[in-house]
Amino acid sequence: MYGTIRHEIRIERPAGQVWELAGNASRLHEWFPGIIECTVDGNQRTIVTATGIPMPEEILACDDTQRRFQYRIVTPIFKHHRGTIDVIDLGDETCLVVYSTEADPRTMAMVIGGGTAAALQELKRQIEGATRQMKGTG
Amino acid sequence: MGRKILFVTTDQQRFDTLGCNGGTVARTPVVDALAAHGIRYERAVPQSVVCMPSRSTMLTGQSPSTHGVWMNGVALPETAPSVAEVLAAAGYRTAIIGKPHFEPFLDAFARFAENGFARAGTFGPHRGFEHFESATHGAAGPLHYARWLNATHPEAVDMYYPVLDSSLEVNAMGGGDNGAPQAWCNNIPREWYHTDWVADRTISWLDSLPVEDDWFCWMSFPDPHHPWDPPASEVGRIDWREVPLPAGYIEKATERERVLDAKPRHWRAWYDGRMVSNYEAPMHWVPATLTADQLREVTALNAVECELIDEAIGRVLAAIAARGQGDDVDIIFTTDHGELGGDFGLMFKGPYHVDALMRLPLIWRPAASAGIGGADITPATVTRPVGLIDLAPTFCKIAGLASAPWMEGKALPVSDADADERGFERVLTEWDSELFGVGVHLRTITRESWVCTTCLPGSAHDGTEGELYNLAEDPLQQANRWDDPQYATVRADLLADLWNHQSPSKLPLRSVEAPV
């Protein structure tokens, strides 16, 4: 059976603004703590973790309409992996970002999932902080 | 100069593995001598029966509900209070050497400081410890011991039992003579084994200090936590064939299962392999398959590990004496939680609040200069309940400091009379776990001769189940009185007392960052 982990966070900014960063496959390392490098070539992405381990991924979907990004890690330790980032417009100039991880072996869902929770916190910090700064300086 | 503090912890050690506590398998003369000249606690209870919450309680002096490490895999915030910070601020030199585990080990993104020091070739500071030198149960991972072994004796790395399997689950692979899970023949030379390494590094750090400095050193042995893979050269100390079965092991399966069926449903469900509630035991091992010989062998290997720890402590004490500080050191010995060790046919640990996991070895040998044998403190046995939550205030007291306001316990009593005077009446223990749809939540009170556990509503329980044991009449906790009308008043009184003293959980619960 797969392990599944889901984390979500509400961000006090419009969905489109959040999607610009969260939906950009090549910018994951900017907001995912512990990922230090990210390169995209077609539907292939390679991330490098802070431990120096490169992790090849396949991009499965990048849907600007639904604001959904899906990928899978293709290293041999995973029999299955799927990561999904959804940015959901809440209709009040805020959005809910949901980061889901499913994996076999199931333990890897917890290992990756812990990172995704921290990533959502960082995404919120950057986007809300950045906008505040822009407002303050504008 | 003040009193130095040597805080010795082991991992997952049962009360009955020490000679001074009635153990007959392992020889532990060093710790037994500390007990003979100090205070031996007969009812020391952890606030959680798994590592990270329990160790966080030792460091912070807070219950899991307060410090927020509600299960393994939840990191203690770096901003959490630390008794080491209090001592350091008072001028103590501070170190932790061995197993810390305030942050998850499985750290794919290198997010936790605890795992980063060895990678960077540094040794702290962290959480108030100016020196932070880490080890765990083998040679895998990013900690200092693993780095050292990989660098200096790479041929030994694979001699250890592989704690995790290829799916990163706790390994169920059997070994030894009987195929017991996590039993293993480890050909590593003794002097490279982590127990001796922890002692060596402790001695090295102590020797680096000016003799006039006061110090607090937490020496944290990873054993006798599974895997049971002590150096093969030492295994012959104890012939498993001659090891008696533990008193809590019920040999006849039908009787064992009758006892299990009288407990809340998660007991029998795990025994039968129908439900695995937590990561800490091998997912692919079914306790009902445990044989008497497997248990004898595991008990023997566990005892060998306890003997090695005892000898390692002896070496450290000799080094302290050689520094001329033997009379100035308070020594506290304990563990983070127990081990099921065959009781009820189970091994490892989980949501099982019985003596196997909750009755801990705890010994305090005060510094001779503090009055041992004199007017203030005399050798004693304390029977009243105390908790690991009381350790941090005890360290403060030894250092001549007031307890920090965030500490929830009280300095350990030095006698039953002292305990009675200062209100050591009850100890609380919590369990919370949520693992892939299985949620178990327990709250337990230990008071007088009673242990009472209520199973809160979750995926495993509907909120009506619980456990009630009279330790005086039923020391093996084989007769659950929870549903016995004769004990309804006792149960109601204990539960009311429990909820009167239980700290509320900080909500929302902090994220589980990793399995462990």
Interface of B with A in 47-66 (CB under 8 A): none
pLDDT of residue A135: 46
First to last CA, chain A: 52
Domains and CATH numbers, chain A: 3-23+57-137 (3.30.530.20)
Question: Within 10 Å of residue A125's Cβ, how many Cβ atoms?
Answer: 12
Angle subtended at Cα B284 by Cα B282 and Cα B286, rounded to the nearest 5 degrees: 90
Task: Name the closest residue on chain B to residue A29, using Cα atoms.
Answer: B109
> In which element (H, E) is residue B413 found?
none
For chain B, give the percent of residues with pLDDT over 70. Answer: 99
Is there a contact between A112 and B108 if contact means CB atoms under 8 Å apart? yes
**What is the rounded average pLDDT of the residues B207-214?**
96
Q: What is the CA radius of gyration of chain B?
A: 21
**Residue pair B59/B392 in contact by the 8 Å Cβ criterion:** yes
* Cross-strand partners of B93: B215
**Residue pair B385/B424 in contact by the 8 Å Cβ criterion:** yes
Query: Six-digit token pair at B387?
Result: 């908790």
Instruction: Note if the bond before B100 is cis, omega within 30 degrees.
Output: no
With contacts defined as CB-CB under 8 Å, which chain B residues touch A80? none
Task: Name the closest residue on chain A to residue B142, using Cα atoms.
Answer: A51
Backbone torsions φ then ψ of B70, nearest 5 degrees: -85, -15
Confidence of residue B506 (pLDDT cuts 50, 70, 90): confident
Residues B287 and B350: their CA atoms lie apart, in Å, by 12
Question: Within 10 Å of residue B9's Cβ, how many Cβ atoms?
Answer: 23
What pLDDT, in 10s, does the model give residues B216-254?
999 999 999 999 999 999 999 999 999 999 999 999 999
pLDDT of residue B376: 62
pLDDT > 60? residue A132: no
pLDDT of residue A126: 97
**Residue pair B370/B3 in contact by the 8 Å Cβ criterion:** yes
pLDDT of residue B371: 59
B110 touches chain A (CB under 8 A): yes
**Helix-then-strand count for chain A, H and E:** 2, 7
* Pairing mode, strands A68-73 and A54-63: antiparallel
**Helix-then-strand count for chain B, H and E:** 15, 15
Q: Which amino acid is at A11?
A: I
Residues B31 and B27: their CA atoms lie apart, in Å, by 10
Q: In 3-state terms, what secondary structure has residue B29?
A: helix
User: Counting Cβ atoms within 10 Å, is residue B128 exposed (0-12), middle (13-18) or buried (19+)?
Assistant: buried
pLDDT > 60? residue A138: no
> In which element (H, E) is residue B83 found?
helix B83-89
Is there a contact between A107 and B279 if contact means CB atoms under 8 Å apart? yes
pLDDT of residue B71: 97
pLDDT of residue B309: 98
Nearest CA among A12, A17, A34 for reference residue A117? A34
**What is the rounded average pLDDT of the residues B278-292?**
96
Confidence of residue A137 (pLDDT cuts 50, 70, 90): very low
Task: Name the closest residue on chain A to residue B169, using Cα atoms.
Answer: A107
Highest mean pLDDT of the ranges B286-290, B323-327, B365-369: B286-290
> In which element (H, E) is residue B9 found?
strand B4-10
Q: In 3-state terms, what secondary structure has residue B73?
A: coil
ipTM of the complex: 0.90
What pLDDT, in 10s, does the model give residues B115-152?
999 999 999 999 999 999 999 999 988 999 999 999 99
**Residue pair B121/B164 in contact by the 8 Å Cβ criterion:** no
Of B108, B109, B436, the CB nearest to A3: B436
Confidence of residue A128 (pLDDT cuts 50, 70, 90): very high
Residue with tokens 């060596």: B200
pLDDT > 60? residue B464: yes
**Residue pair B10/B101 in contact by the 8 Å Cβ criterion:** no
Q: In 3-state terms, what secondary structure has residue B467?
A: strand
Instruction: Note if the bond before B366 is cis, omega within 30 degrees.
Output: no
Confidence of residue B368 (pLDDT cuts 50, 70, 90): confident
Residues B484 and B491: their CA atoms lie apart, in Å, by 9
pLDDT > 50? residue B398: yes
With contacts defined as CB-CB under 8 Å, which chain A residues touch B119? 51
Mutate to test the interface with A, among B69, B105, B109, B143 (most CBs of A within 10 A): B109
Confidence of residue B346 (pLDDT cuts 50, 70, 90): very high
Is there a contact between A50 and B104 if contact means CB atoms under 8 Å apart? no
Average pLDDT score over chain B:
96
Domains and CATH numbers, chain B: 4-248+289-424 (3.40.720.10)
What pLDDT, in 10s, does the model give residues B66-116?
999 999 999 999 999 999 999 999 999 999 999 999 999 999 999 999 999
What pLDDT, in 10s, does the model give residues B423-432?
999 999 999 9
Of A34, A107, A113, the CB nearest to B110: A34
DSSP letter at B72 equals T
What pLDDT, in 10s, does the model give residues B261-271?
999 999 999 99
Confidence of residue B2 (pLDDT cuts 50, 70, 90): confident
Q: Which amino acid is at B392?
A: A
pLDDT of residue B374: 44
